[in-house]
Amino acid sequence: MARQSERPAATGPAPAPPASTGTAPSTGTAPVTGQAPAAGTASALPAAPGAEPAIPGSRSAREPGRAIKPGRHGLPPETVADIQRDRLIDGFVQVVAEHGYTRTTISKITEAAGVTKKTFYVHFTEMDDCFLAAYQRGTGILLDRMAHAYHGAHSWPEGIRAGLRAMLEILAAEPLFARAALVEVNAAGPRLRKARIEHLARFRKFFTDPAYDLPSLPTVVIDAIIGGIYGAVYGAVEAGEGDRLPAMLPSLVYFALLPLGREEAAAQLDAGDPPSR
């Protein structure tokens, strides 16, 4: 069947990656609507041509190249606002990963971002607004990169492996965002928990790809697979062992492919897996 062979030859445009606006998951039993957040909630700054958008927290908000000169700097007001918002998001992730959400304050965020409290309130009404923007931006980038890796593979098992590999390597390389998005999000308010549930729901698309003859699984089974993988990743990050995430790939691929049958899933345990680029 198609799921066990190469991707079927395309007869039209290449399949689009799963849509993502950038929100994140939960392993709880709360109902999942899968609705995307309002448009424009967490748009990232435009990336330079050929450059990938940065995961929140991956850059210091106080890098010299991100500073705005006092006085006449010649930048349009909207550019200044974008730079300030971007720095606040990075500063938030850095502070919450270091101190924990319950010990994070707006003063610490603005100090890390190099802006005033007045500037913070121009962009966000409260701390959860800033957290939501960082969370949606980062999880949107993560899911987009996973989808790109998935669609570059020639079979469904290879696609699942490629997507999971991308996710694990990104989270291992971005420990501040991983800590904020997987661990500290639990201490945030209901909007963040809803965003996590919506984000997890978007992973269902990988298990219902019409390009392959996949088994028709109840949504609850798909959610259980997604939740199991999320729980394993969460456990490593919570324990401060995010650097071992890439080594978990064979086991997580095996778990994800079990609906295809034990033999096909087991074959992935021994599959060669060069690092993604």
* 36-40, 140-144, 235-239: range with lowest mean pLDDT: 36-40
Which is higher by pLDDT, 245 or 31?
A: 245
Average pLDDT value over all residues in the chain: 80
Q: Is the pLDDT of residue 31 over 70?
A: no
Residue 57: which of 141, 124, 129, 118 has the closest Cα?
A: 141
pLDDT > 90: percent of the chain = 61
Residue 183: which of 216, 192, 76 has the closest Cα?
A: 192
Rounded mean pLDDT, 248-269: 80
* pTM of the predicted model as reported, rounded to 2 decimal places: 0.77
Q: What pLDDT is attached to residue 61? A: 64
Q: Are 87 and 115 in contact (CB under 8 A)?
A: yes
Q: Is the pLDDT of residue 255 over 90?
A: yes
pLDDT > 70: percent of the chain = 69
- Which amino acid, 178? A
Where does the pLDDT of residue 12 fall: very low under 50, low under 70, confident under 90, or very high at 90 and above? very low
**Counting Cβ atoms within 10 Å, is residue 113 exposed (0-12), middle (13-18) or buried (19+)?**
buried
Q: What is the pLDDT of residues 78-107, one digit of tens each?
A: 766 788 899 999 999 999 999 999 999 999
Where does the pLDDT of residue 13 fall: very low under 50, low under 70, confident under 90, or very high at 90 and above? very low
**HEC per residue, 60-122:** CCCCHHHCCCCCCCCCCHHHHHHHHHHHHHHHHHHHHHHHCHHHCCHHHHHHHHCCCHHHHHH
Q: What is the pLDDT of residues 167-226, one digit of tens each?
A: 999 999 999 999 999 999 999 999 999 999 999 999 999 999 999 988 888 999 999 999
